[in-house]
Chain A
Amino acid sequence: MNDKASVFPDPETVGRLALSDSGFVFDPVSGRSYSVNATGLAVLRLLQKPTGIAEVVEALQARFESDAVTIERDVIEFADVLRGQIK
């Protein structure tokens, strides 16, 4: 498993995001807004708390019907996008 610090954006950066139940995401520092699906929203909510990727995968596996390997791959891919978008 990858270490969260090397995979995800800085937790402080993710923590500043305003998340709406609709999937609308607003970054109050950059002024950018995004839309994410239910899975993305769930990941972002998990990343706003101090947690590691193992816990993220476990939490998502309990909620979505998929295996741990697939979830981890998808989470890492999502994290790549996040790092590029939210700085």
Chain B
Amino acid sequence: MMAEPRLTVAVTGMNAQPENPGPGLAVARCLREAYGPRVRIVGLGYDALDPGLYLGEYCDSAHMLSYPNGGSDAMIERLAGIHAAERIDLLIPCLDAELPQMVGAAPRLAAMGICTFLPDARALARRTKDRLPELCQLAGVACPEIKPITSPAFFRTCRAEGWSYPMVVKGPFYDARIVRSAEEGAAAFHSIVAEWGLPVLAQRFVAGEEYNLSGVADGDGRLLGEVMMKKRALTTKGKAWAGVTIFDEGLADAARRLVKALGWKGPLEVEMMRDAAGRYHLIEINPRFPSWIYLSQGVGRNLPALLAEIALGRPAPALAAPQPGTMFIRYAVETIVPLGDFEKLIMDGTLSRRPEPEGVR
């Protein structure tokens, strides 16, 4: 009897520190629940302490990647080596900082036989934080003014430029802090520069509540599926510790406009503030699934599985109707790691638990 063909999916972002977890583990969990043993999941990490790499129920094998600042060639060479061992069908990158390289590498990865489903470099660049007002003007979506700054002196002189406190200070990829004075602004500036580099971005503060939408877009301007969420509890870094699904046509409409304006392809997360009048203001677009994406499986709208299907040229699966009122609560849990597993990742850069059986394909 012939074995059923299996799908091998490589997923990055297996870091899972409770304060700011990467999305990779949640994506792997969605894929496992959608495909069961029919998917072989290859976890890719940048740190041997990324916990997802050790969770055998979600990652059949794990490999270390070189940091994105090592350059595209190093990354592609490393992925080629992993591909030779794993025969990867689909790669789902889950970290903002690696997306530019992954997008640039997509044609070479495709030539190797590794499929991706990502936006092009232009679309990726058009949703960077400093270009959101320009994008929103095109899409007809409200957006607070954003200003790149290269000196903490801005926080002393900003009132003369029409800025006021509070305002939001952001890093180019991660981090956002609400500051209420020049002193707080300068402190945030130095802290963000130390961690993420320049430029730092100042964004006008929008009073309201934050709402998030994650979706998958087809590259032709259509949002194929979405899940909307309101955070109910936050970590100290402002990440969701608990949340609940919502449904608001206004939020979905704004996301559809943005997807169309960008010609977006692949997963994304849209972060918006809803003001007292119910108007949505775009805060960020993340070019990947969010760490709360397991909620999509929880409401019958498994977006990572949807992505896998369309990336491989299959019809988009039907999604359940939106189900507002489904909650998630995150928790931290320890996993026991044999020292030998840690040693393998440190010394070999690879940890394989379930080798690909002979004759599976």
Contacts and interface: CB of A to CB of B under 8 A. Distances in A.
25 contacts: A18-B325, A26-B324, A26-B325, A28-B246, A28-B247, A28-B324, A28-B325, A29-B247, A29-B248, A29-B324, A30-B209, A30-B246, A30-B248, A30-B274, A31-B229, A31-B232, A31-B243, A31-B245, A31-B246, A31-B324, A32-B230, A33-B244, A87-B276, A87-B277, A87-B278
Nearest to A29: B248
B211 interface: yes
Interface residues of A, number: 9
Contacts of A26: 244, 324-325
Nearest to A33: B244
B276 A31 contact: no
A74 B247 CA distance: 31
Interface string B318-347: 000000110000000000000000000000
Contacts of B244: 26, 31, 33
A79 B243 CA distance: 27
Nearest 7 pairs between A and B by C-beta?
A: A31-B230, A28-B324, A31-B246, A29-B248, A31-B244, A26-B325, A28-B247
Sort chain B's interface into a size bin.
10 to 19
Interface string A24-59: 001011111100000000000000000000000000
B226 to A, nearest CB: 15
Given A29-B247, A30-B248, 19 more contacts: A18-B325, A26-B244, A26-B324, A28-B246, A28-B247, A28-B325, A29-B246, A29-B248, A29-B324, A30-B209, A30-B230, A30-B274, A31-B211, A31-B230, A31-B232, A31-B244, A32-B230, A87-B277, A87-B278
A87 B247 CA distance: 14
A27 to B, nearest CB: 8
Interface in A1-37: 18, 26, 28-33
Nearest to B230: A31
A22 to B, nearest CB: 14
Main SS at interface, chain A:
loop
A26 to B, nearest CB: 5
Main SS at interface, chain B:
strand
Nearest to B211: A31
Contacts of A87: 276-278
A2 B109 CA distance: 68
A52 B232 CA distance: 34
Contacts of B209: 30
Nearest to A84: B276
Quick one: which of B209, B211, B244, B245 has the most chain A CB within 10 A?
B244
B350 to A, nearest CB: 42
A82 B37 CA distance: 50
A28 B243 CA distance: 12
A26 B232 CA distance: 13
Interface in B239-281: 243-248, 274, 276-278
Nearest to B251: A29
Contacts of B325: 18, 26, 28
A57 to B, nearest CB: 29
Contacts of B247: 28-29
Contacts of A32: 230
A66 to B, nearest CB: 33
A32 B247 CA distance: 12
Contacts of B274: 30
B48 to A, nearest CB: 38
Nearest to A26: B325
Nearest to A32: B230
A11 to B, nearest CB: 16
B241 to A, nearest CB: 14
A30 B229 CA distance: 9
A75 to B, nearest CB: 24
B43 to A, nearest CB: 32
A5 to B, nearest CB: 18
